[in-house]
Amino acid sequence: MERQAKIYVAGHRGLVGSSIVRKLQAEGFTNLLLRTRAELDLTRQADVEAFFSAERPDYVFLAAAKVGGILANDTYGGDFIRDNLLIQTHVMEAARQTGVRKLLFLGSSCIYPKFAPQPMPEDCLLTGALEPTNEPYAVAKIAGLTLAKAYRKQYGFNVISLMPTNLYGPGDNFDLSASHVLAALLRKFHEAKVTQSPTVTVWGTGTPRREFLHVDDLADAALFLMRCYESSDLINVGVGEDISIAELAAVIRDVVGYQGDIVYDLSKPDGTPRKLLDVSRLHALGWRARIPLREGIAATYAWYCANHGR
């Protein structure tokens, strides 16, 4: 990738997109195409086609997506499947038609079956039922992955698909009605500390296990794979280690400095029992995550305090 190549980062204000922009800029890439949703609505086909025809980017990082936690996915499933199908279809088709040299598509580990083998290898895709609470989002991402693979086969379009694990970091969504678990817990513990609340409530039993990758590690992996990976096969991006929600809550309580108790709301769903990616394929290519979980949480909390805390 030449330093002056035109690179479009779709979703550059989001958690993933903003991190990819930081990584590209740090690596000396200066010709970045960035558009807010107000400037370019990716759910509108005509607008996407007009943008690609006018700008003709060389490379595309497709990080734009409608995302959210269990509550948001379970409540607004129609919005999640519709918007994600539209975004990825419009961007991939416009990129193909205008001669984009390579496109990187970002999926999600929720594409794998609810009771997939652990850790989850790439070839367990479509071998079992999905987790019901985020099935619409997962189906959209599976469709995007299938579209990418079909476009490579039929048209020779150079597109690669990454399946990242659970992400966190600066720029995360801390809205409790839409956030993922790590960001939600950071906010809950911070507000409980500020208000001196005696307890913090955690959804579910605390027993599900999750893997967490700092978004800056994902951005590093994305650029690494954009440079060297040339396969239609999806590739997992994660740490290769997981932690229970109860253990995560304890780490966050310690990082925040909260002194109260943790209680569990058993009326709320746990979601998938375990989500750990098999990252052996990625490790074989020579890439590994570098940011330890506690260190990453501490840095994310510092960012939250600077931008949202009171």
Residues acting as catalytic residues:
137
CA distance 166 to 236: 11
Q: Is 37 annotated as a binding residue?
A: no
Residue 210 annotated as part of some ligand binding site: yes
Q: Could you tell me if residue 206 is left (phi over 0), alpha (psi between -120 and 50 degrees) or otherwise beta?
A: left
Q: Is 119 annotated as a binding residue?
A: no
Residues 72, 74, 75, 80: what is their CA dihedral angle, to the nearest 10 degrees?
Answer: 70
Q: What is the CA radius of gyration of the chain?
A: 19
The answer for residues whose C-beta is within 8 angstroms of residue 93's C-beta and 6 or more apart is: none
Q: How far apart are CA 252 and CA 178, in angstroms?
A: 19
The reply, when asked if residue 100 is annotated as ligand binding, is: no
Cis (ω within 30 of 0) for the bond into 117? no
Relative to beta strand 261-265, strand 32-33 is: unpaired
- How many Å apart are CA 270 and CA 168, to the nearest integer? 19
Residue 255 assigned to a binding site? no
Is 107 marked within a binding site? yes
SS3 state of residue 164: strand
- Residue 190 annotated as part of some ligand binding site: no
166 in a labelled binding site = yes
Establish whether 167 is an annotated binding residue.
yes
The reply, when asked if residue 197 is annotated as ligand binding, is no
165 annotated to a ligand binding site:
yes
Please give the annotated binding residues for substrate, written as ranges: 188, 203, 210, 270
Residues annotated within a binding site: 11-17, 106-109, 141, 164-167, 180, 188, 203, 210, 270
| Residue ranges of the binding site for NADP(+) | 11-17, 106-109, 141, 164-167, 180
